[in-house]
Amino acid sequence: MSASLDGKVAVVTGGGTGIGAAAAVSLAKEGCRVVVSGRRVDVIEKVAKDVSGLAVAADVANEDDVVGLFKACDDAHGRLDILINNAGFGGGGVMGAADIDMEAWDRTFAVNVRGVMLCTKHAIPLLKRHGGTIVNVASIAGIKPNMRQIPYGASKAAVISLTRSVADEVGVLGIRVNAICPGAVDTPLFRGNAAERVARTGGKVEDDVERIAALSSLGRLTTCEEVASGILFLATEASGSMTGTRLVMDAGKV
């Protein structure tokens, strides 16, 4: 992909690890100035240093933090062209409908849905100055949810619906909004969930990882860099006629 993002500015939430960190690197390689956001200052500062970007600590579920994030972006760069809503919470683990932990439910929706909406709300006034794009990191769990992982699947389905609703509204402002739906991605969050599963059932984490990988047509996990390439596609004019849609990157699981 050519360096079509020279002079553009992106905010990446959840940018300290996994998909967010890979997206920040990919955007920076294409000439984008990147604001890396997350709750853990040490990890976002490391990524920001690697991409010559700006680190801004923020909890996306807290509106004051979100206001501060976009103010910091505007103060530093005077514009915003791309928002990557990547910050997420894993859903609190495995639980069925009859034993839902409502605190985990509330935290999942606070980060995965409220956080996406708050960032979108406060990004639009900046994005509409020059037009731009929003990429929401959803999941195939929002299309085909996993049994006994109700909060996560429901929250990602909400993100997919939100994507279409907002896209219909802001297209006239020159803003595109799309979702990317990864499958099983080899991230710290994925391996943490695997560790929790084997803690309940016994066995080894690597065996559980291999079991999940084998469920896809390609027989492997998706990498963070592969998802980042999809995010980059949705963030550039290569996808210029796409809005309100979802891009599935799951190694053929759905």
pLDDT at 210: 93
* pLDDT for res 1: 46
What is the amino acid identity at position 178? N
Nearest to 80 by CA among 44, 19, 134: 134
Distance CA 50, CA 157 (A): 33
Stretches where the chain sits below pLDDT 50 are 1, 3
CB atoms within 10 A of CB 2: 9
The first and second tokens of residue 151, run together, are 């909060």
pTM (2 d.p.): 0.94
End-to-end CA distance of the chain: 27
Max CA pair span of the chain = 54
The CATH class given to the 9-184+223-249 domain equals: alpha beta
**pLDDT on residue 199:** 85
User: Strand order of the sheet with strand 132-137?
Assistant: 54-57, 33-38, 9-12, 82-85, 132-137, 175-182, 246-249
User: Is 60 marked active-site?
Assistant: no
**In DSSP terms, which residues pair with 10 in a beta bridge?**
34, 82
Name the catalytic one among 70, 109, 152, 233: 152
Residue located via tokens 């960032």:
119
> pLDDT (tens digit, 9 = 90+) per residue, 146-159?
888 899 999 999 99
| DSSP notation for 211-243 | HHHTTSTTSSPBPHHHHHHHHHHHHSGGGTT--
| pLDDT attached to residue 4 | 79
In whole angstroms, how far apart are CA 171 and each of 10, 85, 164?
19, 18, 11
**136 and 163 in contact (C-beta within 8 Å)?**
yes
Task: For the chain, count helices (H), then strands (E).
Answer: 9, 7
CA-to-CA separations, 152 to 26, 35, 62, in angstroms, rounded = 27, 26, 19
| Phi, psi for 179 (deg, rounded to 5) | -115, 145
Residue 24 near residue 12, CB atoms below 8 Å: yes
